[in-house]
Amino acid sequence: MAKIVKKAHLKADGRFWLTLDGKNFLGRGRVELLQRIRETGSISKAAKAMKMSYKAAWDAVDAMNAAWLTPLVHSGPAGSHLTEDAERLITAYQQAETQHAVFMANLAKSLTLNAA
C-alpha cells in the first residue's frame, strides 16, 4: 500500500516592535494612532476612529513623548499635530516592518515539511 504524504504548513509568527532602552516603543497600533492623529488633528478623534478609549490613546502618546528625546505629538487649543521626529519614526517603522514581513515569509517557506 502506498504511503500518503501530507504537507504540514508550519508558520513562523511574531509581532514586530521597535524597542527603546529594552522596552516596546513603537508597534503597529501606536503607528496607526500617530497616523490618525495626523489625519484628524485630535487625539480624541484618533482614539474614536480606532475604537479605543481616550485614556488609552493619551497614555500611549504620553509614553511615546516621555520615552523619545523630544515630543512626538504636540497638543494645544488648536488640536494635536505630529512633530518631524514622529513622521521620521513612522517612515522608519514602516520600512522595517516591510523587511520583517519579507523575512517572516521567507522563513515560513523554509518551514514547509512533509509529514507522514
Burial group, residue 111, by CB count within 10 angstroms (0-12, 13-18, 19+): exposed
Residue 10 inside a domain? The answer is no
- At residue 12 the predicted structure's pLDDT band, cuts being 50, 70 and 90, is confident
Q: In whole angstroms, what is the distance from residue 75 CA to residue 16 CA?
A: 28
Q: pLDDT digits over 25-82, tens only? A: 999 999 999 999 999 999 999 999 999 999 999 999 999 999 999 999 999 999 999 9
Instruction: Give this prediction's pTM.
Output: 0.84
Total number of domains in the chain:
1
In a domain, 9, yes or no: no
- pLDDT confidence of residue 115: 47
The CB density around residue 77, as the number of other CB atoms within 10 Å, is 4
Q: Can you give the residue range of the structural domain that contains 22?
A: 16-115
pLDDT of residue 116: 46
